[in-house]
């Protein structure tokens, strides 16, 4: 398979890490068109010599019933301190495994001693991040996803060149104009840029813009926790409602924290996410816990108002319910 799509990372942020009991799972991530899910839990058993450890497990094609596929991959599990670029604040273990119908998971019950995992070297605000860095070396029975890089012109399909971080991005004017009001105005209005051979876009990362284009074009790219934030940002900037809608749909069904969902819903005026998040809050205790999340401070007045109304509604229901 191509080197572009055979590597990726599955990330799991654990909040209230010190209280971890049940297994927490990441959202599914597709690498090489293979589905991966990362989990973490506490383990005290013969496998850990009856000493409490943080265990990790990686599921590959967990819901597949077929026996026609296999996937060999190098997997590096890493424990990372949130918002830290210091490589000393990390712990990792690496494995090589062949996954198939009979062996869909890689489990490491004794990944790291629980006391060591609770060291401030890894924890911030009682949060910790577990990652699985995956490099696929061989796949059978699963077709590789094709993603566009937009590095080269395509006859009859591309007719414009955008410059992003000094790199050429070859696109088709019509398809961008169809999905984006920004590009419709850029290519087909009286703007001076519309007649230029190359148009420079400022303040954008090339990799993020290519991600965005893969959702404008009909490719196999999927939304995940790693790309949803910059996709929202670019969809908003370029006025691309179809990409915004895809991000909204992903967030509604993801296991992102309610505060994160409320943050995005407020920033990008996504009412369906806000509505879904409010319906998920069924007790006053859940609302009282929200300020503990690090992103809570970024919420504005409109979100605080609907949370207050939700709290009032819940209190009213409690007061009228039969005892």
pLDDT tens, position by position, 50-91? 999 999 999 999 999 999 999 999 999 999 888 766 666 679
Domain endpoint, select from 110, 140, 170: 140
Whether residue 298 sits in one domain with residue 236: no
Query: How does pLDDT run across 14-37, given as a tens digit for each residue?
Result: 999 999 989 999 999 989 889 999
Q: Is the pLDDT of residue 321 over 70?
A: no
Domain final residue, candidates 189, 213, 247 = 247
Q: 16 and 116: one domain?
A: yes
Q: Is the pLDDT of residue 286 over 80?
A: yes
CATH number, residue 78: 2.60.210.10
At 1, the pLDDT band (50, 70, 90 cuts) reads very low
pLDDT per position as a tens digit, 203-252: 999 999 999 999 999 887 889 888 999 999 999 999 999 999 999 999 99
Secondary structure, 3-state, the chain:
CCCCCCEEEEEEEEECHHHCCCCEECCCEEECCEEEEEEEEEECCHHHCCCCEEEEEEEECCCCCCCCCEEEEEEEEEEECCCCCCHHHEEEEEEEEEEECCECEEEEEEEEEHHHHCCCCCCECCEEEEEEEEEEEEEECCCCCCCCCCCCCCCCCCCEEEEECCEEEEECHHHHHHHCHHHHHHHHCCCHHHHCCEEEECCCCHHHHHHHHHHHCCCCCCCCCCCHHHHHHHHHHCCCHHHHHHHHHHHHHCCCCHHHHHHHHHHHCCHHHHHHHHHHCCCHHHHHHHHHCCCHHHCCHHHHHHHHHHHHHHHHHHHHCCC
Same domain flag for 17 and 114: yes
Shared domain for 266 and 182, answered yes or no, is no
**Residues 172 and 198 occupy one common structural domain:** yes
């Amino acid at each position: 398979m191509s080197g572009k799509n055979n590597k990726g990372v599955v990330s799991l942020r654990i909040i209230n890490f010190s209280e971890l009991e049940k297994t927490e799972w990441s959202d599914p991530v597709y690498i090489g068109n293979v589905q991966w899910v990362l989990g973490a839990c506490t383990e005290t058993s013969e496998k850990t010599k009856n000493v409490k450890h943080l265990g990790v497990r990686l599921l590959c094609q967990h819901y597949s019933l077929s026996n026609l596929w296999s996937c060999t991959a190098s997997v590096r599990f890493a424990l990372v301190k949130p918002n830290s670029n210091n490589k000393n604040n990390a712990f990792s273990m690496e494995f090589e495994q062949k996954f198939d119908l009979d062996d869909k998971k890689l489990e490491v019950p004794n990944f790291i001693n629980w006391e060591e995992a609770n060291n401030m070297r890894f924890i911030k605000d009682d949060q910790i991040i577990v990652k699985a860095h995956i490099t696929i070396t061989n796949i059978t029975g699963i077709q590789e996803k094709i993603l566009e890089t937009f590095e080269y012109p395509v006859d009859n399909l591309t007719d414009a060149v955008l410059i992003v971080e000094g790199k050429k991005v070859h696109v088709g004017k019509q398809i961008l104009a169809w999905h984006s009001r920004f590009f419709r105005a850029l290519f087909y209005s009286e703007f001076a840029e519309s007649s230029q051979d190359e148009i420079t876009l400022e303040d954008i990362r090339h990799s993020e813009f290519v991600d965005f284009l893969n959702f404008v074009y009909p490719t196999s790219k999927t939304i995940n926790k790693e790309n949803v934030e910059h996709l929202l940002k670019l969809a908003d900037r370029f006025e691309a409602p179809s990409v915004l809608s895809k991000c909204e749909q992903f967030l509604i069904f993801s296991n992102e924290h309610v505060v994160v969902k409320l943050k995005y819903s407020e920033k990008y005026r996504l009412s369906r996410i806000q509505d879904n998040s409010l319906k998920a809050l069924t007790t006053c205790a859940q609302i009282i816990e929200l300020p503990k999340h690090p992103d809570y401070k970024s919420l504005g007045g409109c979100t605080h108002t609907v949370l207050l109304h939700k709290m009032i509604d819940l209190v009213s229901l409690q007061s009228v319910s039969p005892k």
